[in-house]
Structure 1
Amino acid sequence: MSRFKRPNKTNSLAGFRSEQTEPTVPNGLLKAARKSGQLNLSGRGLTEVPQNVYRINVDPPEEAKQNVSFGESDRWWEQSDLTKLLLSSNQLTELSDDIRLLPGLTTLDLHDNKLSSLPSAIGELQELQQLRVNHNQLTTLPAEVCTMKNLRCLTLQQNLLDSLPEELGILENLTELDLSNNNLKGLPSSLGQLTSLQKLSLCHNKLSCLPDSLAQLRSVKLLDCSNNQLTDVPSGLSEMPALEQLNLRHNKLRLLPKLSAPMLKELYVGNNQIELLETEHLACLTAISLLELRDNKIKTLPEQITLMNTLTRLDLTNNDISTLPASLSLLPNLNVLLLEGNPLRGIRRDILTKGTNELLKYLRGRIKEEPERAEEGSTAMTLPSQATVNVHSIKTLKSLLYSEKQASDIPDELFDGAADQGVTTVNFSKNQLTSIPSRLVELQSSVSDINLGFNRISCCSPDICKLLQLMHIDFGNNQLSDLPPEMKNLTKLRSITLKYNRFKSFPEVLCQIISLETVLLGNNQVGEVDPCRLQQLVHLTTLDLSNNDLLNIPPELGLCTTLRCLSLEGNPFRTPRAAIVAKGTDALLEYLRSRIPT
């Protein structure tokens, strides 16, 4: 009998093995997908998409064919259309035309596969909002992709694209386009028709020029053109009213571009061939906060660099600068100045190694103040005390300076001298003030920047909330533990420094100041943060909570996706581990998101 059974046994195994070669998806996953409308098949080693995935909303499930009775919660005919299909990190080499059988898709993730092309049928997915095809082997992009008018996010980085279809401009709702790490030598002129675009990445291509039509991208906030072969950029970039961050690193620029984009805050031009900084090019950077010029061939800095009074960080590492203008120290907001790798003469090495504050202090000491002289026959009234009032700073630089005096109050003659002068910057740091000077209110029509750091202020007067033009406040190194609720009226405030104070919680009023971009709250006693409230700060890019008392980092903090710098060092939490924190903000936020309970 065993001799007769053996062939049947062999045939059974053979049939079993052939069935195993067919890519399948467990019925349990498909059943759940019919209810939720979402199917995650990432990292399953698939070489092709199984037919039962394409036909999930077309064919009845296996249970229905077997006449199984269904409970109320299992009625397959009441299924949801598949809206989200994740196929990343597989071995897919092609996508079938059957993708058209999933017309309800809003998200299709194909990243990290081996796709060399996309089927034209993909254009029938008219509800699609996110298409991720990065890290594949695409050599062309089918024009049909450009017919998906609901598409908002298109990521194509790390492919082999050398050109793009002219129809790209049809994607009028696109807000994010990533074309980095391809072989692009040119861009279609229709790119300028993407009027909803907010984020455009063109880095690591072979572009030698940019189309003039970029000037029409009136919503773009971030433009990355680094690691290309650009020798110039179109003047039209100045007409981009929303542009906040421009990256031109690793190109072949010989001059700093003339960019009067009114919102430009961060400009990265490192690793180019810039030799000369022209005054007119610096003067038009009216909102600049960060300027990176490292690894160029710059020899001198113009005296007019003081026109950039919003500058907080200046990176001049590895240039050919031999001398620094003393006027550099008059930049009211500059707190980071990087000069390593320059052949500086006339400044002792020990001063350079002590950091930005000491260097700026040294440069300030080289400024010879010239007392204002009344012209012959003039009846102009001279100020009561030339020793107290810095006339040059008030009239020329619109700055009211009274710093490092160890004073317990600010002399009245200082405010008298600033009357009707349109002062924009106030620096009363490093004194012995115990309260905010009441006469600051007199400057409410013009002052935009106040530095009250290194004093003994224990209570923030609501009067400061009347300074409605304020954009930057520095309360660092004081004794504050709370902020007045009236501060929500400061609708232009972009940065606030509260480090080295006595805050035990994140000030609630800050979450009502939607304009905030930078909050520095390090070295306090903050014990918890509310990520839901922080998400209201839609412009927040820098958050420093280092050296506080945080025992727990809520995973939802990872949803604050606008953050580019999150500092959590020096807190007593156990997770995330120090190794995760050390990887930087992007890795930290991604880790936190992965810990959010589903």
Structure 2
Amino acid sequence: MTEAELLEVIEQASTEGVTELDLSGKELTVLPSEIGKLTQLKKLILGKYKYDEEGEIVDTIGNHLNALPKEIGQLHQLEELQIVDNELATLPPEIEKLTNLRSLNLNSNQLSGLPPEIEKLTNLRSLNLNSNLLSGLPPGIVQLTNLQSLDLSANQLSGLPPEFGLLTNLQSLDLRSNQLKELPSEFRHLNNLRSLHLSYNQLSELPPEFRQLNNLQSLDLSANQLSALPPEIGLLTNLQCLDLSANQLSELPPEFRQLTNLQSLYLSYNPLNDLPPEILQLTNLQSLDLGKNQLNELPPEILQLTNLQALNLNFNQLSELPPEIGLLTNLQALNLNSNQLSQLPPEIRFLTNLQSLDLGKNQLSELPPEIVQLTHLQSLYLSANELSGLPSAFGLLTNLQSLDLSINQLSALSPEIGQLHNLRSLSLSANQLSRLPPEIGLLINLQSLDLNFNQLSGLPSEIGQLHNLRSLSLIANQLSGLPPEIRQLPNLRSLDLNFNQLSRLPPEIQQLPNLTKLDLRGNPVPIPLKILGPKEGWKDPGDVNEILDFYFHAQDPNATESLYEAKFLIVGEGGAGKTSLARKIEDENYQLQADEKSTQGIEVIQWHFQHNELDFRVNIWDFGGQEIYHETHQFFLTKRSLYALVADTRKEDTDFYWWLKIVELLSDNSPVLIIKNEKQDRQCQVNERSLRGEFTNLKEVLATNLETNRGLQEIKDAIEQYIIRLPHVGTPLPKLWVRVRSALENYSRNYISFEEYCQLCQLNNLTEREDILQLSWYLHDLGVFLHFQDDPTLKHCVILKPEWGTTAVYKVLDNETVKKNLGCFTRKDLKHIWKDLEYAEMRDELLRLMMRFKLCYPIPSHSDNYIAPQLLDINRPNYTWDDTNNLILRYEYEFMPKGMLTRFIVETHPWIEEQKFVWRNGVILQKDQTRAEIIERYNQREIKIRVTGTRKKELLAVITHEFDKIHRSFERLQYDTLVPCNCMECQESQEPYSYPLDNLHKRLKAKRYQMECEKSYEMVDVRRLIDDVNLQQPGAEPELNHKSEQLQQELSQERDKSFQNQKVTSQQRKKLHSALISAFAEQSLLEQLLDYELDKNLNEIAQESNLDTIVFKLIKTADSQGWLLDLVRVAYQSNPRNSELKAIAEELKNYF
């Protein structure tokens, strides 16, 4: 909401005299003083909770307010004020004037203190200060004697003032997630308390005075450090709910048995070895949680708890259940997950009221026949056992709605499964099912069916009878087709078919009206991955309609042709024999050269072979092995390819782990062959077993002597076999696609314009622009050519020979002048480096290609100057650093690909301090009085970040956002984001103790809000650790808060401007020259241009007599002075029918 809109709302509310105003979720950063006009308001909402259908809080809807205007004090009638989820750091003193206030909710702000004026709000009944930064309370808070509900949870309170006991009207007090180590004895005066939450503190004992809280009905002491309870606990006889989970209790006091009104008792996460006998006296218990203890048996006396309705014993060490379990006939829910049960007693049959039974993660190899007598069961969880079958009468459990049989050893389903006609959810994933019985079709109420990770090669036609099915998951089976009956599932919304063998889809799949998710990734179906969805499986697949439209409309399924083409990449150290191997594969009679020249960059060779009378084409990519190429090769290590790692057995310098790891990270785990080049028959050992254990994509280790061709045929045979098995090889494609692919082969040129590519497609009857772009994307992904559709410069050309482009790039990085200048070069240098005719007309595009690959960046404000960061000085420049109160973050990598930091430098180059504090292993960024030091320690596999200044959190968020993008470009990259401790000792240290971010998020999810610093042994708040660095969980889509997002947008805009504010390309100049000649011929434009006063040189240009010269000088001047787009616009306005000018104007608009 804009400021003007807000003022209008306030004015209208004032005019109408409204008593309630909701301004939550309006993106407000400032509340105007005009709010004081609304003196009639009784309720003002500036942030609130979001509830689900059951009334549970699921989210907050706030604003970005960091202060309240003093005029807030003019709202004298206000009774309720909600400011949930804002950024308030203080409250104005004028808050004291809201004397009618009964409810004040300040949840989720940044308050580190309360003003003394808070004591004037004596009518307050409810005060919520949850999730702030309070480390103490003002003495005046005890004046709020009418308070009935006080929420101080999730702050940093280490103590309470003694006067706290004066709040005698309190009925509900929430102090969870603070740093309380003890409670004041004055606590005993709060004898009207009904509910007290003290979870997630550091309490090691309870004071004896606790016994005076005799009206307590609910007490939460979970997640503290209690090793014992005082005898006085037995005096809290009104207690109905007691939570003692996550403490250190190994026993309970005898007086515990006096709590006879207890209905719910939680003792999970304690070191209980035996069931405390005192519990057996609590005969009114309805719910008992003993999960995650160390119980190895249940005593027979458990039968005394006859009122139990829910019993949780998960994550213990129970190997059997006593027969007496059958006497708990009121049980409705029994959780025995994660124990060591190998069988169940027959007495289980007496639990006839059971509705939910969880037996997952045990050692059950069979179920007792008696289990079928639990006819009220609605949920049965049997996952992760050793079941190979089900009891014959299993079909009697007709009330079952949810059945989980995942991760067992079922090789078949008995027909009785069809009798469970009330089933809503059925999970059979990770079994050994090769077929489904026809009776599966009888489960007519089924809504969710999970069959992932089985061995199904087909689905029965009866699957079409599951008319209520909403979700069907068949990931990682062996399906080669779907039955036509799939059309009979009108309610199906989600269909997961990842990693099967589907190459065709039935037409009937188009008849599923409610289908919103279709996942076909990992199948040889002829649909580009761009349409199928992101390669990251955790991300949502592509749009259903686009997937089906492409398959059924953009191609004719009956007019396809298989494309037998693949990419074979040869990598390894320099001089290992990669080029020799490539040449020998192409021609085994090739004579090795004694002084074989090392490959400069990349060389591509075509090789053909036949198999089953089919012609296969292999594009062999021979990669130069020099160290300088290691960073840049990774842009061409593609998926859907076969790899060979060549090792020279004489040198024994091959880092097998590095090469195999980089292929694994960048190629989606493509198959790899290790080829030992045994020059002069010198052999070496490769620890094949160890490498295979770590790299599942390592297929074979082969040896050859290329001089004698020993082993060459075996290598060629292996290559052929693995090429044939690549999933995309032989995939049916539209004949039009294959026709265009064949036509491209006839071009001997290195590149063509995109217009020429479109004309070629149209000549081959591929006319729709969307289809043309889809084919371009597919051939780019396959490595046939390079076409970057999303780049404003490179989208205009199609590089038919990728090796031509990469060789040009490497010419710059190999150039001695560029090396001598520590990576600095100019357009003048490029003119010399790319002086050959094949490059002369494409220098601008090639420069853009280098920037696209993050190999260089333009120096802002230094026109035509560039830096290749991998060639920068290795020595760190001298600079000063303020190391007080730094924010420090580290990334630690299990394996660190080369070039991480150089890519980061390119992405953040507009903020490099003075454009000089950058070196090969580090950079200093500067923005808005804030500096960041980023240093790569490659040998330690670490990147360390330090930030100082006024906007530390925001700048750090932007930096991590950029690193997150780099991380996601690698498949399965393993790393830890290490968050610094914020205890007093670590805050002043340059080497603070660090916590893995993913571990912090796991703790947060488990509601473990406190953890210990290993340096100071202080307890710190998990949420504050995460909030300090403003980071999301690793692997998640990057999300930034409002301020960080603004800063990120600034970087993106400055980066885009830097990259795009380059000279127009030679191709664009040619088109523009032609169009302007035409425009001038139709009508003189010089007078209009002179009127616009675009440049002082226009008069001089106008004196030229030759039209061609005029146009040439106009373009050159306009390009160098930055008014080229204006020139084209003026020309187009004078010639609106000139379609060529219109197209160029749009093109340049996007470009600039």
Q: Contact between 1:97 and 1:122, CA under 8 Å: does it hold in 2? A: no
Which sits farther off after the overlay, 176-185 or 40-49?
A: 40-49
1:332 maps to 490
Q: Post-superposition shift, 1:285?
A: 1.3
Q: Post-superposition shift, 1:121?
A: 4.2
2:228 maps to 48
CA distance in 2, matches of 1:289, 1:578: 37
- Secondary structure, in 3 states, of the residue corresponding to 1:150? coil
CA deviation map 1:184-214 (0-9, x unaligned): 1111222222122122111111111112222
Cα distance change of structure 1 residues 346 and 41 upon mapping to structure 2, 3 Å threshold = closer
1:244 maps to 401
Matched letter for residue 157 of structure 1: N
Q: Contact between 1:270 and 1:296, CA under 8 Å: does it hold in 2? A: yes
Q: Contact between 2:293 and 2:316, CA under 8 Å: does it hold in 1? A: yes
1:269 maps to 428
CA distance in 1, matches of 2:352, 2:488: 40
Q: Post-superposition shift, 1:220?
A: 1.8
Matches within 5 A, 1:360-371: none
Work out whether 1:172 is the aligned partner of 2:342. Answer: no
Cα distance change of structure 1 residues 269 and 124 upon mapping to structure 2, 3 Å threshold = same
Cα distance change of structure 1 residues 43 and 334 upon mapping to structure 2, 3 Å threshold = closer
Q: Post-superposition shift, 1:156?
A: 0.7
1:30 maps to 211
2:351 maps to 194
CA distance in 1, matches of 2:392, 2:434: 20
Q: Post-superposition shift, 1:48?
A: 2.1
CA distance in 2, matches of 1:330, 1:358: 22
2:251 maps to 94
1:496 maps to none
CA distance in 1, matches of 2:1032, 2:358: 29
CA distance in 2, matches of 1:230, 1:303: 27
CA distance in 1, matches of 2:1031, 2:446: 33
2:1113 maps to none
Q: Contact between 1:328 and 1:360, CA under 8 Å: does it hold in 2? A: no
Gaps of 5+ in 2: 1-202, 506-524, 533-541, 558-1029, 1037-1152
- Secondary structure, in 3 states, of the residue corresponding to 1:328? helix
Work out whether 1:163 is the aligned partner of 2:320. Answer: yes
Cα distance change of structure 1 residues 355 and 301 upon mapping to structure 2, 3 Å threshold = farther
CA distance in 1, matches of 2:250, 2:378: 35
1:290 maps to 448
CA distance in 1, matches of 2:424, 2:249: 42
Q: Contact between 1:198 and 1:221, CA under 8 Å: does it hold in 2? A: yes
Cα distance change of structure 1 residues 355 and 184 upon mapping to structure 2, 3 Å threshold = farther
- Secondary structure, in 3 states, of the residue corresponding to 2:393? helix
Matched letter for residue 47 of structure 1: S
CA distance in 2, matches of 1:216, 1:154: 20
CA distance in 2, matches of 1:366, 1:158: 56
C-alpha RMSD over aligned residues? 3.2
Q: Contact between 2:369 and 2:391, CA under 8 Å: does it hold in 1? A: yes
Name which of 217, 222, 242 aligns with 2:374: 217
Matches within 5 A, 1:24-423: 24-27=205-208, 29-32=210-213, 34-54=214-234, 56=235, 80-258=237-415, 259=417, 260-280=419-439, 282-347=440-505, 348-350=525-527, 353=532
CA distance in 2, matches of 1:52, 1:29: 7
CA distance in 2, matches of 1:122, 1:27: 22
Gaps of 5+ in 1: 1-21, 58-79, 368-576, 584-598
Q: Post-superposition shift, 1:90?
A: 1.0
Q: Contact between 1:23 and 1:49, CA under 8 Å: does it hold in 2? A: no
CA distance in 2, matches of 1:109, 1:200: 19
Q: Post-superposition shift, 1:366?
A: 11
Q: Post-superposition shift, 1:117?
A: 0.3
Which sits farther off after the overlay, 22-31 or 87-96?
A: 22-31
Q: Contact between 1:275 and 1:299, CA under 8 Å: does it hold in 2? A: yes
CA deviation map 1:444-490 (0-9, x unaligned): xxxxxxxxxxxxxxxxxxxxxxxxxxxxxxxxxxxxxxxxxxxxxxx
Cα distance change of structure 1 residues 170 and 317 upon mapping to structure 2, 3 Å threshold = same
Q: Contact between 2:231 and 2:253, CA under 8 Å: does it hold in 1? A: no
- Secondary structure, in 3 states, of the residue corresponding to 1:223? strand
1:529 maps to none
CA distance in 2, matches of 1:363, 1:316: 22
Q: Contact between 1:335 and 1:357, CA under 8 Å: does it hold in 2? A: no
CA distance in 2, matches of 1:363, 1:249: 35
Cα distance change of structure 1 residues 257 and 26 upon mapping to structure 2, 3 Å threshold = farther
Matched letter for residue 499 of structure 2: G
CA deviation map 1:364-402 (0-9, x unaligned): 9999xxxxxxxxxxxxxxxxxxxxxxxxxxxxxxxxxxx
Cα distance change of structure 1 residues 162 and 99 upon mapping to structure 2, 3 Å threshold = same
Cα distance change of structure 1 residues 307 and 23 upon mapping to structure 2, 3 Å threshold = closer
Q: Contact between 2:352 and 2:374, CA under 8 Å: does it hold in 1? A: yes
Cα distance change of structure 1 residues 359 and 327 upon mapping to structure 2, 3 Å threshold = farther
Cα distance change of structure 1 residues 149 and 578 upon mapping to structure 2, 3 Å threshold = farther
Matched letter for residue 43 of structure 1: A
Q: Contact between 1:329 and 1:363, CA under 8 Å: does it hold in 2? A: no
- Secondary structure, in 3 states, of the residue corresponding to 1:243? coil
Q: Contact between 2:343 and 2:366, CA under 8 Å: does it hold in 1? A: yes
Matched letter for residue 496 of structure 2: L
Cα distance change of structure 1 residues 363 and 250 upon mapping to structure 2, 3 Å threshold = farther
Query: Greater share of strand residues, 1 or 2?
Result: 2
Which sits farther off after the overlay, 338-347 or 224-233?
A: 338-347
Q: Contact between 1:214 and 1:236, CA under 8 Å: does it hold in 2? A: no
Cα distance change of structure 1 residues 43 and 28 upon mapping to structure 2, 3 Å threshold = farther
Cα distance change of structure 1 residues 313 and 578 upon mapping to structure 2, 3 Å threshold = farther
The count of aligned residue pairs is: 330
Q: Contact between 2:256 and 2:278, CA under 8 Å: does it hold in 1? A: yes
CA distance in 2, matches of 1:250, 1:86: 33
CA distance in 2, matches of 1:136, 1:151: 19
Q: Contact between 2:208 and 2:232, CA under 8 Å: does it hold in 1? A: no
- Secondary structure, in 3 states, of the residue corresponding to 1:207? coil
Query: Greater share of helix residues, 1 or 2?
Result: 2
CA deviation map 1:532-553 (0-9, x unaligned): xxxxxxxxxxxxxxxxxxxxxx
Greater Rg by CA? 2
Matched letter for residue 269 of structure 1: L
Q: Post-superposition shift, 1:351?
A: 8.2
Cα distance change of structure 1 residues 252 and 326 upon mapping to structure 2, 3 Å threshold = same
CA distance in 1, matches of 2:552, 2:377: 38
CA deviation map 1:111-148 (0-9, x unaligned): 11100001344322111111111111000011212221
Of all paired residues, the percent bearing the same amino acid is 34
- Secondary structure, in 3 states, of the residue corresponding to 1:227? coil
CA distance in 1, matches of 2:548, 2:324: 53
